[in-house]
Amino acid sequence: MIVAENLVKEFRVAERGPGLIGSLSTLFSREHRLVRAVSGVSFEIPAGTKAAYIGANGAGKSTTVKMLTGIMTPTSGRALVAGLEPYRERRRNAANIGVVFGQRSQLWWDLPVPDSFRILRRVHEIPDAVYRRNMALFQELLDLDALGNTPVRQLSLGQRMRAEVAASLVHDPKVVFLDEPTVGLDLVLKEAVRRLVNHVNAELGTTVLLTSHDMGDITAICDRVLVVNHGEVVHRGTMHELLRTADTRAVVFEHHGGPDEAISLIGKGLEGASARLVDGGRIRVEYPVARWTSRQVMGFLLDHFDVTDCVAPEPDLEMVLRRIYAGRVAA
């Protein structure tokens, strides 16, 4: 559904020195520096997938999304969204996609929210049945009626974001791009937005591309992950595969016996692993995957302790990402 082939975007940025002198000197000489925001990104997202596009700030996420939505033309390379090159066939592409930019409003600033929806209905020529079905869904999940007849410019960020997410989905797009869709939302509304996105994906097969710094969004919505760093895709696969790239794992267990001697025993017996006491008297053992297999660690624990309870939590996504950003894992 979404294909990127060697997408490159370069910007010319005027160089200026610091301070007043620097600003003044640009009056006479202007030097440009070429900034490569996206350098040869390639990926493919099948129809009906909910993919997360993750990267640190400045990784080129937004720029890539702008090329996929037809706002920007790539310097080189090619993108296809639902079979169209977005920047070449912007208007036809716009009919296929829905977009939420967390920092920008697509609603009519001076008008109340219901008016924006009436306009979108006409602009996208949405059939009556579809419009009614979607408005009922938005009402049920996001309580749009509560926004009343206040002009958008007077709404709070949280109120506005609910309407933004709904507006991106009102025309049953084939693909929806969500750039920080839960910015400014409380936990209940975040949950509602995630439910809405999952619902349209399940019911209509809408392809989702999400960029977010909110790990909760990513884990609650996405089944596939693309991680970009310095403008390149450094990891692609399922969420599960990404988590498996973690280089340390953990086991948390409970046993009959004192914690202190257990911790020191683990320290001696499992070289490179670390053990510490966590809440409720349980012991958390973290071990490097390169040194120990899970089987070895479990075996060691069962051999040495009278284990009463044991859990092996999923590796933490945030930790995995931190390592990728720091360049320690090249997948």
Q: Please select the residue that binds other proteins; options are 1, 51, 59, 99, rule is CB under 8 A.
A: 99
How far is the C-alpha of 161 from the C-alpha of 57, rounded, in Å?
Answer: 21
Nearer to other proteins by Cβ, of 173 and 315: the residue is 173
Cβ proximity to other proteins: between 29 and 103 the closer is 103
CB-count exposure of residue 314 (10 Å: 0-12, 13-18, 19+): middle
**Between 227 and 266, how does the x/- string for binding to other proteins read (CB under 8 A)?**
----------------------------------------
Binding segment toward other proteins, per CB under 8 A, in 83-91, 131-139, 191-199, 319-327? 83-91
- Smallest distance, other proteins to C-beta of residue 55, A: 15
Which residue in the set 36, 48, 108, 191 belongs to the binding site for other proteins (CB under 8 A)? 108
Q: How far is the CB of 72 from other proteins (least distance, A)?
A: 6
Q: What is the three-state SS of the chain?
A: CEEEEEEEEEEEEEECCCHHHHHHHCCCCCEEEEEEEEEEEEEEECCCCEEEEEECCCCCHHHHHHHHCCCCCCCEEEEEECCECCCCCHHHHHHHEEEEECCCCCCCCCCEHHHHHHHHHHHCCCCHHHHHHHHHHHHHHHCHHHHCCCEHHHCCHHHHHHHHHHHHHCCCCCEEEEECCCCCCCHHHHHHHHHHHHHHHHHHCCEEEEECCCHHHHHHHCCEEEEEECCEEEEEEEHHHHHHCCCEEEEEEEEECCHHHHHHHHHHHCCCCEEEEEHHHEEEEEEECCCCCHHHHHHHHHHHCEEEEEECCCCCHHHHHHHHHCCCCCC
Q: Which of 8, 111, 130, 310 binds other proteins (CB under 8 A)?
A: 111
Q: Which of residues 128-157 bind other proteins (CB under 8 A)?
A: 151
Q: To the nearest whole angstrom, how small is the minimum distance from the Cβ of residue 256 to other proteins?
A: 57
Report the Cα 199 to chain-centroid distance in Å: 18
Size of the site for other proteins (CB under 8 A): 33
- From the list 94-102, 234-242, 301-309, 317-325, the region that binds other proteins by CB under 8 A is 94-102
Nearer Cβ to other proteins (15/261): 15
Chain center to CA of 154: 28
Among 31, 46, 47, 123, binds other proteins (CB under 8 A): 123
What residues between 16 and 75 interact with other proteins by CB under 8 A?
62, 66, 69-73
Contacting range for other proteins; rule: CB under 8 A; set: 112-120, 131-139, 233-241, 278-286: 112-120
Does the protein bind other proteins through residue 91 (CB under 8 A)?
Answer: yes
Q: Contacts with other proteins in 203-232 (CB under 8 A)? A: none
Between 72 and 185, whose beta carbon lies closer to other proteins?
72
Residues that bind other proteins (CB under 8 A): 11, 62, 66, 69-73, 87, 90-92, 94-95, 97, 99, 101, 103-106, 108-111, 115, 118-119, 122-125, 151
